[in-house]
Structure 1
Amino acid sequence: MRSTSSPEDLTTRARIRDAAVARYGREGFGVGLRVIAQDAGVSAALIVHHFGSKDELRAACDAHVLAAIRESKERALASGGAQDLLLQLASMDEYAPLVGYALRSLQAGGELAKDFVEHFAADAEAYIAEAVAAGTMRPSRDEKARAHYLTVQGLGALLLDMTLNPPADPTDVVAILHGYRNRMMLPTVELFTHGLMTDNTMLDAYLLYVSDPPQTSTPARSV
């Protein structure tokens, strides 16, 4: 795989981390340290030396994946240019290990998966705020709720698409992403760009409901 590290960061520790991200993304978190060590060209003992334990290696992978995805999202959303969107699509293969890792984290569930989603949502809130300030995105009545929705909607849609369209090779993250892009990119971009409703009828009805919800009547008991 192409390393997700910068040239200055190609240390032994970074090489191990990148190998772990790629292997976990393809096969899940049950992979042993010996397999990751072989991928990185080091010994399992050296992984323990650098990270202390498999859990600490996973934590380092989490932090790296979040930081890398945050950086790419900020560039794409803050600029809002068509050229930048095309560049992001062209570099999908480079980011495939990161997305594969994120999906494996969600599939594994547990507190780490919940933390991962919360970090994604917090990052989304930050870079969406920058996009709103830059004038490339509309403001929201509840920025935090919108960021959380977009995070859950985006990751959930990808997971469901994988279930409905199982890949021939579950370890081929690039093929999974290409298939999802071909099926979903146009309607997603169109919906986010032009919206869905032609007026405010549904939103106004919802806002009225939450401000003054109807009382539920209790049916009279027969005697």
Structure 2
Amino acid sequence: MDHPPPSDERILSAALRRFAVDGLSASLRRVAEDAEVSAGLIIHHYGSRGALLEACDRRALEVTRREKSSLFAGGSAELFAQLAQTTRYAPVVGYVLRRLQAGGPLAVELVGDFAADAVEYFADGERAGTITPSRDPQARAQVLTEMALGALLLQLPAQRDQLDLEELPAWFEQYSARIIGPILELYSIPLLADRSMLDAYLAATQGDDPAPQTIRPPAGETS
């Protein structure tokens, strides 16, 4: 016979879901009701709201770091989309989105994690000849990660209202379908016709481009 999870784990699971649905300001009383425990038991196990949020942060980091090794292929948004398809992970995805909205240590760690992974994947692409090398691989990966997560949060269907975790997978599908074409165009066809603006910026800030030869022109064009 299966034994119910211990009370601290029930509280943590309930907190992830309740904070995802209602936001990080959700009351501990609601968390206690969801976990079918007393509010005092939350304080007994976690001490305070802040400590409970930190526990949720740690659990979210554990899940994303564990699962992205097998799922991460299309960036942070794609990882969240795939995790949201699994019912047991939807609260974690919702919580991560809420935490990214609010900022804080988890947000900083997640962005840093995804950017570090992106550096490695871009390097693999450069070696395979499918991605153009960058003057500053780390900076490029960081900016692209921040842009992806920022765009995701801008469209999040819960800026002020409740987040429907059951609708989250469908929302991710609609969001991906809307942005994938423009994103591929932006990545495949340079927005600027030449690099004169980059050269002017580099001349003004650094004197000379330290590695202009590492940026290949698009196929069919000459530098």
With structure 2 as the length reference, what TM-score do the two structures score? 0.68
1:62 paired residue number: 57
Higher helix share: 1
| Residue 196 of structure 2 is aligned to residue 205 of structure 1 | yes
Distance 1:114 1:33 in 2: 20
CA positional deviation for 1:194: 8.4
**What do the CA deviations read for 1:10-56 (whole angstroms, capped 9, x no partner)?**
54322211110100010012222222122112222221121111110
Distance 2:154 2:45 in 1: 36
199 and 32 in structure 1: CA distance in 2 versus 1, 3 angstrom threshold: closer
151 and 195 in structure 1: CA distance in 2 versus 1, 3 angstrom threshold: closer
**What do the CA deviations read for 1:39-79 (whole angstroms, capped 9, x no partner)?**
1122222211211111100011112112212323332236x
1:171 paired residue number: 163
Which deviates further from its counterpart, 38-47 or 186-195?
186-195
CA positional deviation for 1:155: 2.5
Over the aligned positions, Cα root-mean-square deviation in angstroms equals 3.6
1:19 paired residue number: 14
Look up the SS of the partner of 2:96 in the other structure.
helix
CA positional deviation for 1:178: 1.6
Q: Partner amino acid for 2:136?
A: D
Distance 2:111 2:35 in 1: 31
Which deviates further from its counterpart, 126-135 or 31-40?
126-135
103 and 12 in structure 1: CA distance in 2 versus 1, 3 angstrom threshold: same
**Across the two proteins, how many residue pairs are aligned to each other?**
193
CA contact (8 A) 1:121 1:151 kept: yes
- Aligned identity (percent) is 34
CA positional deviation for 1:196: 3.1
Give matches, 1:52-201, under 5 Å: 52-77=47-72, 88=82, 91-107=85-101, 109=102, 113-132=103-122, 135=125, 138=131, 140-162=134-156, 170-185=162-177, 187-188=179-180, 191=183, 195-197=187-189, 201=193
| Residue 30 of structure 2 is aligned to residue 40 of structure 1 | no
CA positional deviation for 1:89: 6.8
Distance 1:182 1:60 in 2: 31
Distance 2:191 2:94 in 1: 38
CA contact (8 A) 1:17 1:61 kept: yes
Distance 2:149 2:7 in 1: 31
1:4 paired residue number: none
162 and 133 in structure 1: CA distance in 2 versus 1, 3 angstrom threshold: closer
**What do the CA deviations read for 1:91-115 (whole angstroms, capped 9, x no partner)?**
35443222221232244x3xxx143
1:218 paired residue number: none
Distance 1:104 1:213 in 2: 40
Q: Partner amino acid for 2:153?
A: L
193 and 131 in structure 1: CA distance in 2 versus 1, 3 angstrom threshold: farther
CA contact (8 A) 1:76 1:88 kept: yes
CA contact (8 A) 2:24 2:98 kept: yes
CA positional deviation for 1:199: 9.1
Look up the SS of the partner of 2:188 in the other structure.
coil
CA positional deviation for 1:213: 3.2
Alignment gaps of 5+ in structure 2: 206-223
CA positional deviation for 1:134: 5.2
CA contact (8 A) 2:85 2:169 kept: no
Distance 1:50 1:89 in 2: 28
Look up the SS of the partner of 1:174 in the other structure.
coil
